[in-house]
Amino acid sequence: MSTLDDADSAHLEKRYAEAIRLYRVALAQDPTLFEAWYGLAAASASCQEYGDAIATYRFALALRPHDVDLHVNLASALFALGYVTEAVHNYQTAAGSRDAGVHAMALKNLACIAPGDPALDDEAILEMRQAWAALEAANMLSYPPREPVPPHEPRPPGRAPGERLRIAYYGAFFADRNWMKMYMGVLNAHDRDRFEVNLIVDGALPSAASGYRDHESDRIWQVAGVPNAELAGHIAAAKIDVLIDLNGYSHQARLPLLLHRAAPVQVAWQGMYGTTGFPHLDVLIADASVLPWGEARASLTEERGYTERIYRVRHTYLPFEVFYETPDVAPPPSLKSGHITFGSLNSAYKLTPQTLNAWSQILHALPSARLLLRNAALDQSSNRADLLSRFADLSIPAERLTLLGAAEHTEFLRTYDKIDIALDAFPYNGGTTTAEALWQGVPVLTMNGDRWAGRTSRSILNAAGLAEWVAADLPGFVGLGVRLAHTDLASARAGQRKRLAASPACDSAALCRELERVYLSQAKLQGKSGRRRIGPT
């Protein structure tokens, strides 16, 4: 057996470190061995060593430039480290493949990552998302329809059917406390005398630990692994009046459920950061910060670049409620260190060249300042090396940077004890990350972006009464960072959590009342039986 065979065997058995070592041995023997370059890249990606994977996928492409599988894999690694525009270009190349599987994978991933590419506008994002939705619709037609099956009811119904409006939220993260602080306040606040609440769960069940307040009449469905067509049958059989998507592109496999029109009214709230691109969606929940008003001022409007009608809530569509113990707010670290530490805990895929350039400009303007970054990708050495190299190209030396990897959630929040001022990412802002920084007393600097994904922090900050931290543009963002570094950070930090908790940014109950009005008005408009059907419409 050859060294390459040994490497492949180790790879298949998920002994990635051994596979990487053996692939390198094989390449030392023959640097033109395509299979070894490809295996090395794939094994590196499996270890989340995306810096190494990018370099080795490029070597493999140099040997076989027309291999579309390589473009898909390279795109995935590029996206993981924030090279979003390059990732989009590689997926677009792969989308032209005659291989149906490669074509489908490319369209799916383009639809997901499009809002994070600074080179794309709303029209281009719409086109990419519609292309994937059309493919999903075409695939759906190739399968025979399933007979509706009554849903499993782990809890007895609280009242006779039809007495309350039946609403169903479906999502994959009900058990994750850090994510659910953006959702659970609304779910808990529903008036159970007027609404029957169903939670359709992919993954672990909601619990008190994830903020859920149990109600006897709630119905919780466990549907992990249930195909969309079958789930649509369950939803129709349960006579759900309003179906609400909580996943968006965060759990992409469930988004095509919308194609089945399983409920008369279908709504999307959170997780989209732009149009879904899907038909049969009646309402997309937004606000005037993420999607400013056009000429129309009606409560439901049609917008260019969107397949849905938009409902703008009064304040933010992203209110949060922190229902678990969090670290106390610490004083600004600059009081002891003598220098300002900027920071970001955004995911690595948001660290675009535009973002690093803006942060570097602030560091150049403040020569004593430091920058702290933390995300899971920084656990891997090649990812850290890649990021250090990118900053070096912007004339920011490594000694001005602190790079930290993943941490348990409470320890992750304590990272803000080491940060004076948090910096947002562009064009894909923070959401949960922004909320957490503010809760820990840290100011968050952002700007008014050119798309929904680039205005989510603006939405939260405006609702929190902190609009002064929203710059009009990129030069304004840099200038704001420099000015804020010379202000009294300690006084504002000490009282920020109390002010935040009393603001609309944390008023989940108020958003719930608005959403209830939307659900009731749409159900009345559509009728409880007028549009219910299973299958494409």
d(Cα 482, Cα 361) in Å, to the nearest integer?
Answer: 10
pLDDT for position 245:
97
- Residues 285-303 have pLDDT tens digits of 999 999 998 644 556 778 8
Contact 51, 81 (CB under 8 A): yes
Nearest to 141 by CA among 221, 1, 256, 15: 256
Where do the domains of the chain lie? 3-141, 165-319+508-526, 334-506
DSSP 380: S
Is 321:345 a contact under the CB 8 Å cutoff? no
Distance of CA 521 to the CA centre of its chain: 29
Do residues 252 and 237 make contact, with C-beta atoms less than 8 angstroms apart? no
Give the strand order in the sheet containing 444-447: 401-404, 370-374, 341-344, 421-423, 444-447, 470-471
Joined tokens for residue 431: 């959401």
Show pLDDT as tens, one digit a residue, over the chain (537 residues): 699 999 999 999 999 999 999 999 999 999 999 999 999 999 999 999 999 999 999 999 999 998 988 999 999 999 999 999 999 999 999 999 999 999 999 999 999 999 999 999 999 999 999 999 999 999 887 555 544 444 434 333 333 455 699 999 999 999 999 999 999 999 999 999 999 999 999 999 999 999 999 999 999 999 999 999 999 999 999 999 999 999 999 999 999 999 999 999 999 999 889 999 999 899 999 999 999 986 445 567 788 889 999 999 999 999 999 999 999 999 999 999 999 999 999 999 999 999 999 999 999 999 999 999 999 999 999 999 999 999 999 999 999 999 999 999 999 999 999 999 999 999 999 999 999 999 999 999 999 999 999 999 999 999 999 999 999 999 999 999 999 999 999 999 999 999 999 999 999 999 999 999 999 999 988 764 444 443 433
Q: What is the pLDDT of residue 297?
A: 57
> Which pLDDT score is estimated for 1?
66
What token pair was written down for 217? Answer: 């009449």
Task: Evaluate whether 165-319+508-526 and 334-506 have a shared fold.
Answer: yes
Q: Which CATH number fits domain 334-506: 3.40.50.360, 3.40.50.2000, 3.40.50.300, 3.40.1440.10?
A: 3.40.50.2000
pLDDT value of residue 520 = 96
User: What pLDDT is attached to residue 536?
Assistant: 37
Among 336, 320, 289, 310, smallest CA distance to 457 is for 289
In the CATH hierarchy, which top-level class contains the domain 3-141? mainly alpha
**CA atoms 321, 327, 331, 336: torsion sign:** negative
Q: Is the pTM of this model over 0.85?
A: yes
DSSP codes joined into one string, 206-266: P-GGGT----TT-EEEE-TT--HHHHHHHHHHTT-SEEEES-GGGSGGGGGGGGG--SSEE
Would you say 455 and 468 are in contact if contact means Cβ atoms under 8 Å apart? no
Q: Compute φ and ψ for 297, nearest 5 degrees.
A: -115, 10
Hunting for tokens 């990708």 — which residue is that?
Answer: 377
Distance linking the first and last C-alpha atoms of the chain:
56
> What residues are paired with 222 via a beta bridge?
201
CATH fold of 165-319+508-526 reads Rossmann fold (3.40.50)
Angstrom distance (rounded) from CA 82 to CA 41:
18
Nearest in space to 391 (alpha carbons), one of 357, 364, 366, 365: 357
